[in-house]
Amino acid sequence: MHIGTMTPHTIGFIGAGNMARSLAGGLLNNGWSADRLLLSDPDANQRRGAEQALGIKTFPANVALAAAADVLVLAVKPQALKTVAEEIAATVQKKRPLVVSVAAGIRITDIERWLGGNLPIVRVMPNTAALIGSGATGLFANTSVTEAQRDEAESILRAVGVTVWVKSEALIDTVTAISGSGPAYFLLVMEVLEKAAIKHGLDPKTARLLTLETAYGAAKMALEGGEEPAQLRQRVTSPGGTTEKAVQALEAGKIERIFDDAVIAAMQRARELADLFGK
């Protein structure tokens, strides 16, 4: 079933940046009608770009969009969300839409307070791979969100990748540290592997091709192979062979601790930003 056949609701995106455009584009690709999608942004260039890329109606005023939307997607930068929310609060209280927040780090209690309270709110954490339709998104809903609204929120994010619901809002910080920030970890691994290849004699073009295709192949094996990554790794690691020696060197370098430290650092920063922007 196409998403567009599920409900006649109108979805409004506040903010016409990359994430909002990606979500709207994903919905269009999944059969949603363009006349049921709206965007608002004070930047005329952003609005024009969204109109040209997607063919949907845009508004310069957030209040006008909030008055027209049944589902309101807050796709603005975290530091701007308080101002935007307080601006549209009176309109939202009259309309009472499902609110979906894509703003990283901002807690539901703060969003609800800024919007006037007693609203169904889903907080989501997508990652940058959503821009190419391969995102991984964590979602958490407050108690005012109905099952139908959960399905609707999930449908919006599923248009750009896979979705998972978490049991507590605190786990969104873990999602942030794993999938939200995670693309940078894998890109860093590709970057250093490519450098090592060049250092040991390969030309840059060959180094990049082999690195990227190897990363793609490993991810594809993990997604489609039906085995856990640990089992796959053991299967491709012959005893006494080159791969075993390389893995032993990585383990001697405390790779597990390094990644755990990275996740902890990201989680701590997510909490710090929530405290900072939630005031």
Convert the pLDDT of each residue in 221-278 to its tens digit.
999 988 999 999 999 999 999 999 999 999 999 999 999 999 999 999 999 999 999 8
Mean pLDDT across 193-221: 98
Q: Which amino acid is at 206?
A: T
The pLDDT of residue 279:
80
Q: Which of 190, 173, 189 is nearest to 181 (CA)?
A: 173
* Coil vs helix vs strand at 139: strand
Fold classified for 182-272: ProC C-terminal domain-like fold (1.10.3730)
Q: Are 118 and 139 in contact (CB under 8 A)?
A: no
Element (H, E) at 100: strand 98-101
Give the orientation angle of helix 242-252 with respect to helix 255-277, to 10 degrees: 50
- Percent of the chain past pLDDT 90, that is, above it, reads 95
pLDDT tens-digit series, residues 105-162: 999 999 999 999 999 999 999 999 999 999 999 999 999 999 999 999 999 999 999 9
Mean of the per-residue pLDDT values for the chain?
94
Residue 61 confidence (pLDDT) above 60:
yes
Task: Provide φ and ψ at 135, rounded to 5°.
Answer: -75, 165
Q: In the CATH scheme, what architecture does the domain 3-172 have?
A: 3-Layer(aba) Sandwich (3.40)
The pLDDT of residue 9:
87
Rounded Cα–Cα distance for residues 116 and 20 (Å) = 24
Written as six digits, the tokens of 162 are 């896979």
Residue 84 confidence (pLDDT) above 80:
yes
As beta bridge partners, residue 74 has 14, 101
The pLDDT of residue 181:
96
Rounded Cα–Cα distance for residues 171 and 165 (Å) = 10
Mean pLDDT across 33-58: 95
Rounded Cα–Cα distance for residues 229 and 242 (Å) = 19
Rounded Cα–Cα distance for residues 84 and 62 (Å) = 8
The pLDDT of residue 225:
82
The pLDDT of residue 226:
85
Domain ranges, ordered by start, for the chain: 3-172, 182-272
Q: Which amino acid is at 41?
A: D
What confidence category does residue 5 fall into, taking pLDDT thresholds of 50, 70 and 90?
very low
